């Protein structure tokens, strides 16, 4: 089983950006955590972060040709704006889970819409870094039941 974990803009600033909201762990800590979770579950994983919408779209398209089994995506601010990321997820129709570190449902009105979320079978939010583990397990369980 091979997963792609995608992280959108400003997530490379974890540890520096708004620690009251996103915590004190760094992006490197997040990468190590995801790798460890996947190793424990015997899942091969590629972890990718970009501040560019088009780069995220291209990575999703590439996942199709690389026969990626599942995608975990934190589109970050593109959650609330990106029809392009939604369309890319729909184009490849690879099972996907949306993840947010913060509790988006309790934040500003403009964060209440998720476009990429419409192409995901589940959303995990407000559980910090542990949410990535939950998302990976949800994806694995889903693929095993299909």
Structure tokens at 117: 């979320």
Say if CB 111 and CB 80 are below 8 A apart: yes
Is 100 near ligand DQA (CB under 6 A)?
Answer: yes
Can you state the angle between helices 27-40 and 130-145, rounded to 10 degrees?
30
CB closer to ligand DQA out of 12 and 70: 12
Residues 110-129 that bind ligand DQA (CB under 6 A): 111
Tell me whether residue 100 is one of the annotated catalytic residues: yes
Tell me whether residue 22 is one of the annotated catalytic residues: yes
CB closer to ligand DQA out of 82 and 102: 102
Is 77 near ligand DQA (CB under 6 A)?
Answer: yes
Is 74 near ligand DQA (CB under 6 A)?
Answer: yes
DSSP secondary structure letters along 32-85: HHHHHHHHHTT-EEEEEE-S-HHHHHHHHHHHHHTT--EEEEE-GGGGGT-HHH
| Residue among 27, 78, 100, 132 flagged as catalytic | 100
Kindly state the helix (H) or strand (E) to which residue 141 belongs, with its residue range.
Answer: helix 130-145
Binding segment for ligand DQA (CB under 6 A), chosen from 26-34, 38-46, 100-108, 115-123, is 100-108
> How many residues make contact with ligand DQA (CB under 6 A)?
10
Binds ligand DQA (CB under 6 A): choice among 12, 49, 50, 79: 79
Structure tokens at 121: 């079978």
Q: Is 52 exposed, middle or buried (0-12, 13-18, 19+ CB in 10 A)?
A: exposed
Kindly state the helix (H) or strand (E) to which residue 100 belongs, with its residue range.
Answer: strand 96-100
Residues 2-31 that bind ligand DQA (CB under 6 A): 10
Which positions are catalytic?
22, 100
Residues that bind ligand DQA (CB under 6 A): 10, 74, 76-77, 79, 100-102, 104, 111
């Amino acid at each position: 089983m091979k997963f792609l974990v995608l992280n959108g803009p400003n997530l490379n600033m974890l540890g520096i950006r708004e620690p009251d909201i996103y915590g004190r762990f760094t992006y490197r800590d997040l990468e190590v955590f995801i790798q460890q979770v996947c190793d424990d579950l015997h899942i091969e994983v590629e972890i990718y972060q970009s501040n560019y919408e088009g780069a995220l779209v291209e990575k999703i398209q590439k996942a199709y040709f690389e026969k990626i089994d599942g995608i975990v995506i934190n589109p970050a601010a593109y959650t609330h704006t990106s029809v392009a990321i939604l369309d890319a997820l729909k184009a490849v129709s690879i099972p996907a889970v949306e993840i947010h570190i913060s509790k988006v449902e309790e934040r500003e009105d403009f964060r209440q819409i998720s476009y990429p979320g419409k192409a995901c079978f589940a959303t995990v939010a407000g559980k910090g870094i542990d949410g990535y583990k939950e998302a990976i397990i949800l994806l694995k369980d889903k693929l095993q039941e299909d």
